[in-house]
Amino acid sequence: MLDTFEILTTSGVVLWSRTYAPVNPSVINNFISDVFIEEKGAVAGARNSQPAASNPLYKADQHTLKWTFVKELGVIFVAVYRSLLHLSWIDKLVDNLKTIFIDLYGDQLKKPNTTIVECRKFDEYFDQQYRELESSGSLNTARPAAIAFLSEENAIQDDTGDEPPLPPGLKHRGKAQNNSQERPSTAESTPNTSRPSTPSGNHLVVAKGGPMGKMSRRARKIKNNSAPVSSGDEAPARKTKKAPKKGRKWDADGFADEEDDSLQLDYSAVHNTLTSDSEIDVVARSTAGEGVDSSSWGTKTSKGQFVLKDLDDEVHSILESAEAKNASKTETKGGLVGSGLSTISSLFRNVVGGKTLTKEDLDKAMKGMEDHLLRKNVAREAAIRLCEGVEKELLGVKTGSFESIDARIAKAMEASLTKMLTPTSSLDLLREIDSVIKPPATSMRKPRPYVISIVGVNGVGKSTNLSKICYFLLQNKYKVLIAAGDTFRSGAVEQLKVHVRNLKELTEREGGRVEIFEKGYGGDAATVAKDAVREAANEGFDVVLIDTAGRRHNDQRLMSSLEKFAKFAQPDKILMVGEALVGTDSVAQARNFNSSFGPGRTLDGFIISKCDTVGDMVGTLVSIVHATNVPVLFVGVGQHYSDIRNFSVKWAVEKLLSNS
Amino acid sequence: MEVLKQFLEYLLTPSTEVFIIGALIIFLLPVIVHFYIVQTTPYTSLPSILLVGPPAAGKTSLLTLLERGDSAAATHTSQIPQSVELTVSDDHGATTFREAARIDAPGSHRKFLLVDTPGHGKLRNQHAMTHIASNTLRGIVYMVDAASLDDGLADAASFLYDVLLALQKRTGAGKTSKAPTAIHVLIAANKLDLFTALPASLVRSNLEAELGRIRQSRSKGLLDSGVGVDDIGSEEQDDWLGQYGSEKFSFGQMREFDIEVDVIGGSVLDGKVDKWWDWISDRI
Ligand SMILES: Nc1nc2c(ncn2[C@@H]2O[C@H](COP(=O)(O)OP(=O)(O)OP(=O)(O)O)[C@@H](O)[C@H]2O)c(=O)[nH]1
Ligand SMILES: [Mg+2]
């Protein structure tokens, strides 16, 4: 059933694992770098200790990963199983094991300067939970098949609908609610089955996106079809089961609602009800277990495993007390605050540092940071996500000596920004070109020209930036062929010719060589590009720079031709030119361009032009990178051919955090 | 109210007790604050060895092996640095890390911190550079996977370039003020148990050749954003690794900056890390 279950730290050490079928380690490694480091996919940004059910599934070729994360201890719990299986109890297994593990070994995890956690005994706890939940899960295997099918569909969707937009609480709120209302009719035959399908339902909504429209319509259709069928033959059974539960759910709703903030009310309310629901479920079952021992635990006791019984009790008491703690935490909040002594000591700590940051401390300061970022022209969406990340990171952290809250926040923000803007693999363009045009003798590759194509909306300076890159290459004595791929706008070819003439004059002495490849107007850009590459290979050019027609990112017809273009020209690098200016919809442009090259191909980088005109307001850079996960490689800083620069993360971060 | 008034009156009348208490407060408060701060700041003065390198080189594996003494733990991609307190012995009471890992190892000991850093491209520079700036640093172990050096050479070398350049600048900056302790670099060629692995000598020559090429292309590369035209002349020499203007790069050129570079092979999986351990022991 389960392939493997691992408990690992953020520093990369596996603390405990159980393997039933070997899984390639790269599955979990990719999971870590996608979800935690690169934060691909919207909701990814590892939310602290939220139940596994509300974390998005992670899918890797044949496997599905369910996970949860405890931030303050830096521990990740991940279960890997075959995507074909539909394990309804897996969320609960992950959550319960998390609670138990933290309860048993939390103290050891807090020890500094060691990676050793003595947890061999956890085997028994794992076995106990696994057996218990699996047996409770198998009672439900007679689930309507339609549901399994439905969530499979969801999963596919989730897989291919790459990088859905951020979780805009407001936007999909309504739909999420719809889903949860629909859910009872399809899946709520027992509490256990309802849990895993709800989050994937949410996910379906989040993952909506252009190219996958068809798929989701199909999925929706199936869902609609399945609803009446299942509700038809299950209705009576469900009624009886649900009736007693209703009462409990009510209190759960009660306090869940209290602490919700207004924005995401519905969204989190759904989750909250689910968690408390599940936990209450555990309580209910454990108390029931004591009374009616023969019914569900009968098999175990009949085999004479008395030791197990003790373990059962222990596990249940751990889960219960964790539940109780959760409940009391929400109730007694704010009771202690305001007593004079603690205020004075907190003031004192404010000055000398060593203060443990609380939500109230952070809230105000974070608001300031958010405004600061907005002033720097960072899109609201990105600013909010950055601030949320920092706030989560700092909650419960102690400030250093003589360090104010603001300084601590600035430090954390600097780290977040640096992480976001730093590319996963840095680009040394000349080095890369060299390795393609003169491959090392040991690698069996044939020399070929290096192909760069430049895309973007109208008037952002595609040809200008292309010429700047060309100038740089010519200075380094490369032979460059410029392909006029803009066969659409009249005058585009002539404009390029002017650039080429200028470049020839400028670099005559340097020893580079530049020519233009053009086929006039009206032809197919993809074919022109392909021919240019072939010609370059024959004529011994080193680099091909392809100019493309500027296009509105919402012009379906022109955008769809980009896919063919990418297939025909096979560029090594597709760079998009964007503007740093305030008030342009750069983010939407970047998103649309990034997803227009067909499956498996995205932009390789951005050139951000006109950076000299915006001063410190370089927030557009952040918004674009945030929206696409594609790095900024170059920035344009002026009118001259030499006014192009490597993008320096440090420079950008300094500008963003500077106060002026 | 009455009590308060009396109390205030008492405080404001100059009497011996009030003077003594006042003086005590004045003299003791700074001391208390001092101890408070000293106690809350983490204890950082242990010497440290930094473990850096490209992803999946085996850094975390080595860390866990040295800590546990018997065998390495299973690992996955690291996201945060992790330091571990280890002991070397002064008088060769415990010659191997296996003995040193035992609590009751013979001889007298010195403790140090081994700091593992993530190798992921987004995280590594940030963490490596902050640790290189730290003044408790005694040495750097740069770990590479000798079995995948064919594909990973460019990546391994460009990160190594950054690390060496940062060290070079650190020495350069130190020349004007007090000289910082010389920091040596060990290039640990890991995974020599695999048959595709290159021997240490080849790892060395491949890295040197690639570093030379990177140095060449970086000197011709575009300027970084934020670097003004005026800084060009002064900045130039700073970004050149090793002997300025030399044709070929070799690790020997780093001696000019008090940086010794050794390349030693080994394997975490087979537990063949004694030579690395000796190197580390010499640094502490
Ligand atoms: N064959 C072989 N494999 C090894 C050796 N050392 C480590 N490995 C394996 O290499 C993989 C990566 O090791 P890690 O220690 O996680 O690598 P890392 O350098 O910490 O990687 P990051 O944290 O991503 O930077 C693991 O699967 C190890 O089992 C070795 O000496 N031989
Ligand atoms: Mg690691």
CA of A658 to the centre of ligand 1 (A): 40
The pLDDT value given to residue A346: 64
Write the DSSP symbol of residue A353.
B
Ligand showing the shortest atom-to-Cα distance for residue B268: 1
Nearest-CB residue to A637 (from B80, B123, B225)? B225
Q: What is the pLDDT of residue B53?
A: 92
> How far away, in angstroms, is B125 Cα from ligand 1 center?
19
CATH, residue B147: 3.40.50.300
Q: What is the CATH number of the domain that holds A118?
A: 3.30.450.60
> How does strand A63-70 pair with strand A58-60?
antiparallel
Planar angle of CA B22, B27, B32, nearest 5 degrees: 115
Is the Cβ atom of B77 under 6 angstroms away from ligand 1? yes
Which residues are CB-contacts of B33 (< 8 A; sequence separation ≥ 6)? A352
Report how far residue A531's alpha carbon sits from residue A483's, in angstroms, rounded to the nearest whole number.
Answer: 9
**A456 alpha carbon – ligand 2 mean position (Å):** 39
- Whether residue B61 sits in one domain with residue B21: no
Residue A568 near residue A527 (C-beta atoms within 8 A)? yes
Considering only the beta carbons, identify the residue of B75, B123, B154 that sits closest to A37: B123
Average pLDDT score over residue span A20-35: 87
Chain B, 120-149: which have a CB under 8 Å from a chain A CB?
A: 120-123, 125-126
Domain that holds residue B122: 48-283
Q: CB of B214 within 8 Å of any CB in chain A?
A: yes
Is A430 a member of any domain? Answer: no
How many domains, in total, are found in chain A? 3
For the ranges A324-328, A359-363, A541-545, which has the lowest average pLDDT? Answer: A324-328
Cβ–Cβ < 8 Å for A352, A402: yes
In this structure, the answer to whether residues B14 and B151 fall within a common structural domain is no
Q: Tokens in use for A95?
A: 């959550």
**A335 pLDDT band (50/70/90 cuts)?**
very low
Say if residue B107 is in the same domain as residue B236.
Answer: yes
CB contacts under 8 A, A 139-198 vs B, are none
The helix or strand, by DSSP H or E, that contains position B274, with its residue range, turns out to be helix B274-283
| Torsion on CA atoms A10, A14, A20, A23, rounded to nearest 10 | 60
Helix (H, G, I), strand (E, B) or coil at A573: strand
Whether residue B59 is found in the same domain as residue B192: yes
pLDDT of residue A269: 41
Q: How far apart are CA A648 and CA A646, in angstroms?
A: 6
- Would strands B184-190 and B137-145 be described as parallel, antiparallel, or unpaired? parallel
Res. A192: pLDDT tops 50: no
- Is the predicted pLDDT of residue A168 greater than 80, yes or no? no
Q: Residue A591: which pLDDT band, with cuts at 50, 70 and 90?
A: confident
Q: Residue A198 above 70 pLDDT? A: no
| B positions 168-197 inside 8 Å of A (CB) | none
Distance CA A405, CA A398 (A): 10
Q: Does the beta-carbon distance from A431 to B77 stay under 8 Å?
A: no
Residues A410, A470, single domain; the answer is no
- Give A260-313 pLDDT, tens digit per residue: 444 444 444 444 444 444 444 444 444 443 444 434 443 444 444 445 567 777
Range of the domain at A411: 336-421
Whether residue A223 sits in one domain with residue A111: yes
Do residues A31 and A63 make contact, with C-beta atoms less than 8 angstroms apart? no
Among residues A89, A82, A78, which one has the least CA distance to residue A30? A78
Same domain, B10 and B77: no
Shortest distance, CA B72 to any CA of chain A (angstroms): 10
Q: What CA–CA distance (Å, rounded) separates A67 from A46?
A: 10
Say if residue B159 is in the same domain as residue B67.
yes
CA distance A164 to B281: 51
Percent with pLDDT over 90 in chain A: 2
DSSP codes joined into one string, A388-406: HHHHHHHTTPBP-BT--HH
- A478 and A623, same domain (yes or no): yes
Cβ pair A592, A623 in contact under 8 A = no
Same domain, A315 and A342: no
Distance CA A114, CA B84 (A): 5
- What is the distance between the alpha carbons of residues A109 and A112, in angstroms, rounded to a whole number? 8
Pair B147, B254 in one domain: yes
Alpha-carbon distances, residue A515 vs A503, A523, A539 (angstroms): 10, 20, 11
Nearest to A651 among B83, B120, B225 (CB): B225
Q: Which residues of A158-186 are buried (b: 16+ CB within 10 A; e: fewer)?
A: bbebbbbbbbebeebbeebeebbeebebb
Helix (H) or strand (E) holding B141: strand B137-145
Does the CB of B226 have a partner CB in chain A at under 8 Å? yes
- Ligand nearest to the CA of residue B142, numbered in listed order: 1
What pLDDT score was predicted for residue A93? 85
CB under 8 Å, gap of 24 or more: what pairs does A536-541 form? A536/A449, A536/A481, A537/A448, A537/A449, A539/A481, A540/A479, A541/A449, A541/A479, A541/A480, A541/A481, A541/A513, A541/A515
The answer to whether residues A33 and A69 belong to one domain is yes
pLDDT at A289: 39
Q: Residue A517 is inside which H or E element, if any?
A: strand A513-517
Averaged pLDDT, B97-122? 76
- The per-residue pLDDT for range A447-469, each reduced to its tens digit, is 889 999 998 888 888 888 998 99
| Type of residue found at A63 | H
Claim to verify: residue A391 and residue A503 sit in the same structural domain: no
Bridge partner residues of A652 (DSSP): none
The distance of B184 to chain A (nearest Cα, Å) reads: 23
pLDDT band of residue A153 (cuts 50, 70, 90) is very low
Q: What is the pLDDT of residue A98?
A: 87
Pair B195, B278 in one domain = yes
For residues A602-622, give the mean pLDDT. Answer: 85
Element holding A58 (H helix, E strand): strand A58-60
Verify that B35 and B55 share a domain, yes or no: no
Query: Into how many domains does chain B fold?
Result: 2
Contact across the interface for B150 and A634, Cβ inside 8 Å: no
Grade residue A328 by pLDDT with cuts at 50, 70 and 90.
low
A12 pocket-lining for ligand 1 (C-beta < 6 Å) = yes
Residues A321 and A402 in one domain: no
For ligand 1, whether the C-beta of B194 sits within 6 Å is yes
Closest CA to A16 of A113, A95, A111, A120: A120
> Whose C-alpha lies nearest to ligand 1, atom 7?
B58
Residue A365 lies in a domain: yes
Q: Quick one: which atom of ligand 1 is closest to the CA of B270?
A: 31
- B111 beta partners: B87
- A182 pLDDT higher than 80: no
Q: Per-residue pLDDT averaged across A169-174, rounded?
A: 38
Instruction: Give yes or no: residues B35 and B61 share one domain.
Output: no
- The whole-number average pLDDT for the span A81-94 is 82
| CATH code, domain carrying A561 | 3.40.50.300
**C-alpha span between A70 and B87 (Å, rounded):** 31
The answer to whether residues A11 and A67 belong to one domain is yes
Q: Label residue A114 by pLDDT band (50, 70, 90).
A: confident
Task: Give me ligand 1 centre to Cα B164, in Å.
Answer: 23
- CB of A559 closer than 8 Å to CB of A458: no
| Residue pLDDT, tens place only, B180-195 | 577 889 999 999 988 8
The torsion angle over the Cα atoms of residues A110, A74, A83 and A144, rounded to 10 degrees, is 70
- Is the Cβ–Cβ distance between A266 and A173 less than 8 Å? yes
Interface of A with B in 312-351 (CB under 8 A): none
Q: In the prediction, which pLDDT does B143 show? A: 92
Predicted confidence (pLDDT) at residue B52 exceeds the cutoff of 90: yes
**Any idea what DSSP says for residue A37?**
I
Say whether pLDDT at B142 is over 90: yes
* Biggest CA-to-CA distance, chain A: 94
Confidence check: pLDDT of B105 > 70: no
| Residue B238 three-state SS | helix
Interface probe with B: pick from A11, A37, A349, A473, most Cβ of B within 10 Å: A11
List, in order, residues 6 or more apart from B126 with CB less than 8 Å away: A415, A418, A419, A422
Cα nearest neighbour of A402 on chain B: B37
B48 lines ligand 1 (CB under 6 A): no
Question: pLDDT class for A71, splitting at 50, 70, 90?
Answer: confident
A:426-485 residues touching chain B, CB 8 A cutoff: 426, 428-431, 434-435, 442-443, 472, 475-476
Helix (H, G, I), strand (E, B) or coil at B36: helix
Q: Does the pLDDT value for residue A40 go beyond 50?
A: yes
E strand or H helix that includes residue B52: strand B48-52
Q: Which of A374, A403, A407, A377 is nearest to A390 (CA)?
A: A407
From ligand 1's centre to the CA of B109, what distance in Å?
Answer: 29
Residues 6+ apart with CB under 8 A from A588: A553, A554
Q: Is residue A251 part of a domain?
A: no
Minimal Cα distance from A418: which residue of B?
B126
**Average pLDDT, whole number, for chain A?**
71
A542-558 pLDDT tens trace: 899 998 888 887 788 88
3-state secondary structure A13-32: EEEEEEECCCCCHHHHHHHH
Neighbours of ion ligand 2 (CB under 5 A): A 12; B 59-60, 78
Indicate whether A366 pLDDT > 70.
yes
Taking CB atoms and an 8 Å limit, are B78 and A611 in contact across chains?
A: no
Both B113 and B53 in one domain: the answer is yes
Q: Based on the domain organization, do A354 and A313 belong to the same domain?
A: no
Q: Mean pLDDT throughout B138-165?
A: 89
A25 part of contact set with chain B, CB < 8 Å: yes
B16 contacts chain A (CB < 8 A): no
> Which of A371, A403, A421 is the endpoint of a domain?
A421
- pLDDT at position A244 over 70: no
User: Of A17-21, A437-441, B145-149, which range is least confident?
Assistant: A437-441
Alpha-helical runs (H) found in A260-379: 265-291, 293-296, 298-302, 306-331, 340-352, 359-375
| A426 within some domain | no
Cβ–Cβ < 8 Å for A3, A65: no
As given in the structure block, the two tokens for residue A310 are 């003790």
**In this complex, do B150 and A443 lie within 8 Å of one another by their Cβ atoms?**
yes
Check if the beta carbon of residue A301 is closer than 8 Å to that of residue A293. Answer: yes
pLDDT at A20 over 90: no
Q: CA nearest A638 in B: which residue?
A: B225
Same domain for A471 and A348? no
The reply to whether A182 falls in a domain is no
Residue A246 lies in a domain: no
What tokens were used for B166?
């940062």
Residues of chain B with Cβ-Cβ distance to A423 below 8 Å are 121-122
CA-wise closest residue to A288 among A90, A136, A134: A136
Per-residue pLDDT of A478-502, as tens digits, reads 889 998 888 778 788 888 888 888 8
Report the residue of chain A nearest B229, measured CA to CA.
A643
Tell me the CATH number at A361. 1.20.120
B65–chain A Cβ distance below 8 A for any pair: no
Q: Under 8 Å CB-to-CB from A487, ≥6 apart: which residues?
A: A519, A520, A521, A522, A523, A524, A525, A528, A549
Q: Rounded CA gap, A22 and A440, in Å? A: 37
Go through chain A and tell me how many residues it has.
660
B269 touching A, CB under 8 A?
no
Assembly ipTM = 0.80
Label residue A351 by pLDDT band (50, 70, 90).
low
DSSP state of B198: P
With a 6 Å cutoff on the Cβ, whether B260 touches ligand 1 is: no
Instruction: Look at the block and give the residue holding tokens 């030579």.
Output: B275
DSSP notation for B83-115: EEEEEEESSSSS-SHHHHHSTT-SS-EEEEEEE
pLDDT at residue number A227: 42
> Do A482 and A516 meet the contact criterion of CB atoms below 8 Å apart?
yes
User: In this structure, is residue A261 part of a structural domain?
Assistant: no
A363 and A410, same domain (yes or no): yes
Residues A609 and A578: beta-carbon distance below 8 Å: yes
Residues A407 and A481 placed together within one structural domain of the fold: no
CA-angle at A136, arms to A134 and A141, nearest 5°: 85
If asked whether residues B152 and B98 sit together in one domain, one would say: yes
Q: Is residue A290 part of a domain?
A: no
Q: Tell me the pLDDT tens digit for each residue of A371-417.
A: 888 888 888 888 888 888 888 778 777 776 667 777 888 888 888 88
Q: Which residue of B has its CA nearest to A608?
A: B225
Distance CA A359, CA B139 (A): 40
pLDDT of amino acid A348: 65
B225 and A17 within 8 Å at the Cβ level: the answer is no
CA gap A86, A135 in Å, rounded = 15
Using alpha carbons, list the distances in angstroms from residue A576 to A430, A579, A643, B276.
19, 10, 17, 46
**Is the predicted pLDDT of residue B156 greater than 50, yes or no?**
yes
What pLDDT, on a 0 to 100 scale, did the predictor assign at position A347?
A: 66
